[in-house]
Amino acid sequence: MSTGQSFYITTPIYYPSDLPHIGHGYTTVAVDALARWHRQAGDDTWMLTGTDEHGQKMLRAAAANGVTPQEWVDRLVTESWFPLLRTLDVANDDFIRTTQPRHEERVQEFVKALYDRGYIYAGEYEALYCVGCEEFKPEAEIVDGTGAFEGLKVCAIHSKPLELLQEKNYFFKLSEFQDKLLELYKTEPDFVRPESARNEVVSFVRSGLKDLSISRSAFDWGITVPWDPSHVIYVWVDALLNYATAVGYGTDPAQFERRWPAYHVVGKDILRFHAVIWPAMLMAAGLDVPRGVFAHGWLLVGGEKMSKSKLTGIAPTEITDVFGSDAYRFYFLSAIAFGQDGSFSWEDLSARYQAELANGFGNLASRTTAMIEKYFEGVVPPASEDTDGDREIQRIVADAATGADAAMERFRPDEAIAAIWTIVDALNGYITENAPWALAKDPAQRPRLGTVLYTAAEGLRALAVLLSPFMPEATQKLWIALGHAGRLQDQPLREAGAWGVLVPGTSVNGIAPLFPRVEQA
Ligand code: MSP
């Protein structure tokens, strides 16, 4: 068991009725890389992901397919959502489904607690609802329909007609939390990140909060309101609570105490739920608010937010089948500034795979191990006197390790990879400059040749450790090739920049290309 500080991190729970696409995969691998980083650094880490299985959207999709909603979600979760985690090499600690009893029972308990505390009341409601968003839409997100939807009000995100709903509902007194939330954003400036997301949330809350309708009576695919069985709990209230029910809220106080509060990573489309409604719900229940909410941007394909319903959806396997899971992880986490939108294109993915992975990192690994085999019978030579150039590499490795850790603390995997990549670039330059193949021709230069190859191999050792949260598969192969005893994921990450860990005399094995040439259709 780890003794480090607690680091509990979550992905949103996904609607299983959409097939997983690269947008879902993006959030998931970002959270997995952050979790792996902290786990390997010795923090008491817990990574949660899961599926959001109630609500009208699911009910309709099931009906359209002629099965019960439970059969529908069971099928999708087993056939599509569990496999996604294997496709992307995700090391989650738990997977929560909102139809599990451990969740449903605790949600009822939580909502009952808010009711008993006087934060829930019955009222009348009439408003435009988007089933795609599972949300009553604010004025700003309602637009006039065009084409087939001429004359109708449509959702700005889904471009589909909104439905006018009129019901008796239970309401949560969200409006009472305006000042407390503003105080939270002020005293914890990092509660919402990045800055642009924080500003959006602050101005939204400043403009005034309305009470939130938290129950529905028009359909029954949801968790029953404990004191009124004719209503089910609003799917977003149900869904947000997964973060607490999964770590023992109401059942396992020791586990809850150890894990909670969490960091939530979400797409910017669902920021308000996480940065406004969720902390208010927790405040009302007398629980700690999350440690922070990080909103990342959208993946754009052909300039549009990628989505299944707009037919721009790309399945993660389309990428991993050709390039592998490491390349998927590396590409999305390095090519897009975390927090901003980023465009996906096959050309860009292919170009980066070739330049950075195959020619940059992969080639460095192959040629270094090959030269140790060729010139030193596969045994890591000792380093002798070092030069300024050698010390420069040592400094770059130390700085990269510190810089990457600081970037991961800021939830910036892209900046962490950029810091680590300074090692790849510097070592490739170092090898070209020192030309070991020329040194090898002169027996008098043998000590110097040893130093150069030791420096390259020790740099690779640091790279294997630092890149393992991002590319678990390739770094594991490299680790084995470098002859290391012990598991790569046990290497203390925050000490990866220390020099001289690789012991001269270690046997090195040749390595098949880490990133082989790909044939694209
Ligand atoms: N079920 C809710 C979340 C409940 S959390 C308590 C939901 N699910 S979702 O399946 O629609 O997707 C949620 C997340 O998928 C988004 O927040 C985002 O993280 C990710 N993405 C979906 N489409 C995306 C892009 N085009 N680009 C980037 N991320 C995307 O909302």
pLDDT above 70 covers a percentage of the chain that reads 98
Overall average pLDDT of the 99-114 stretch: 98
Q: Is 130 a catalytic residue?
A: yes
Please tell me the number of Cα atoms within 13 Å of 364 on its side-chain side: 29
- Residue at 364 is within a domain: yes
- Match 């600690």 to its residue by tokens: 93
Annotated catalytic residue: which of 54, 130, 231, 268? 130
Reference 366, options 465, 516, 513; nearest CA is 513
Q: Is 133 a catalytic residue?
A: yes
260-264, 328-332, 385-389, 492-496: range with lowest mean pLDDT: 385-389
Reference 277, options 191, 205, 187; nearest CA is 205
- pLDDT at residue 91, rounded to an integer: 98
How confident is the model over 244-299, as pLDDT tens digits?
999 999 999 999 999 999 999 999 999 999 999 999 999 999 999 999 999 999 99
- Residue at 489 is within a domain: yes
Residue 73's CB: how many other CB atoms inside 10 A?
A: 26
Q: Is 57 a catalytic residue?
A: no
Ligand 1 centre from 12 Cα, in Å? 7
49 to 1, 90, 389: CA distances (angstroms): 21, 10, 45
Q: Is 155 a catalytic residue?
A: yes
- pLDDT at residue 308, rounded to an integer: 57
Annotated catalytic residue: which of 38, 57, 103, 133? 133
Ligand 1 centre from 244 Cα, in Å? 19
Reference 364, options 487, 459, 473, 471; nearest CA is 459
- pLDDT at residue 306, rounded to an integer: 73
Does residue 496 have a pLDDT over 90? Answer: yes
- pLDDT at residue 69, rounded to an integer: 95
Does residue 97 have a pLDDT over 90? Answer: yes
At 155, the pLDDT band (50, 70, 90 cuts) reads: very high
- pLDDT at residue 272, rounded to an integer: 97
Overall average pLDDT of the 204-229 stretch: 94
At 1, the pLDDT band (50, 70, 90 cuts) reads: very low
Annotated catalytic residue: which of 153, 160, 308, 374? 308
- Residue at 473 is within a domain: yes
Q: For the chain, how many structural domains are there in total? A: 1
- pLDDT at residue 140, rounded to an integer: 85
Bridge partners, 154 (sequence order): 143, 161
The b/e string for 43-55 (b: 16+ C-beta within 10 A; e otherwise) is bbbbbbbbbbbbb
Does residue 310 have a pLDDT over 80? Answer: no
Overall average pLDDT of the 87-95 stretch: 98
Overall average pLDDT of the 200-221 stretch: 94
- Residue at 425 is within a domain: yes
- Residue at 383 is within a domain: yes
- pLDDT at residue 312, rounded to an integer: 63
Does residue 191 have a pLDDT over 80? Answer: yes
The C-alpha atoms of residue 465 and residue 272 are separated, in whole angstroms, by 36
Bridge partners, 169 (sequence order): 123
How confident is the model over 344-402, as pLDDT tens digits?
999 999 999 999 999 999 999 999 999 999 999 999 999 998 899 999 999 999 999 99
Query: What pTM, to 2 d.p., does this model score?
Result: 0.94
Q: Is 158 a catalytic residue?
A: yes
The C-alpha atoms of residue 305 and residue 375 are separated, in whole angstroms, by 52
Using most ligand atoms within 8 A of CB, pick from 9, 10, 15 the residue to mutate for ligand 1: 15
Say yes or no: CB of residue 299 within 6 Å of ligand 1. Answer: yes
* Residues 6 or more apart whose Cβ sits within 8 Å of residue 114: 120, 172, 281, 284, 285
- pLDDT at residue 218, rounded to an integer: 85
By residue count, the chain amounts to 521
pLDDT above 90 covers a percentage of the chain that reads 85
Cβ proximity of 394 and 447 under 8 Å: no
Domain that holds residue 440: 346-495
More confidently predicted of 303 and 493: 493
Residue 266's CB: how many other CB atoms inside 10 A?
A: 22
- pLDDT at residue 482, rounded to an integer: 94
* Token pair of 281 as six digits: 């719900």
* Token pair of 284 as six digits: 């009302």
- pLDDT at residue 18, rounded to an integer: 83
- Residue at 474 is within a domain: yes
- Residue at 401 is within a domain: yes
More confidently predicted of 157 and 28: 28
- pLDDT at residue 520, rounded to an integer: 61
* Residues 6 or more apart whose Cβ sits within 8 Å of residue 10: 31, 47, 48, 49, 243, 262, 263, 264, 265
Annotated catalytic residue: which of 112, 160, 180, 305? 305
- Match 């590319």 to its residue by tokens: 471
Say yes or no: CB of residue 239 within 6 Å of ligand 1. Answer: yes
Bridge partners, 416 (sequence order): none
- Residue at 22 is within a domain: no
- pLDDT at residue 309, rounded to an integer: 59
Q: Is 484 a catalytic residue?
A: no
Name the closest-CA residue to atom 17, ligand 1: 267
35-49, 307-321, 328-342, 425-439: range with lowest mean pLDDT: 307-321
CATH of the domain at 415: 1.10.730.10
254 to 257, 259, 279, 306, 423: CA distances (angstroms): 5, 9, 22, 41, 42
Does residue 428 have a pLDDT over 60? Answer: yes
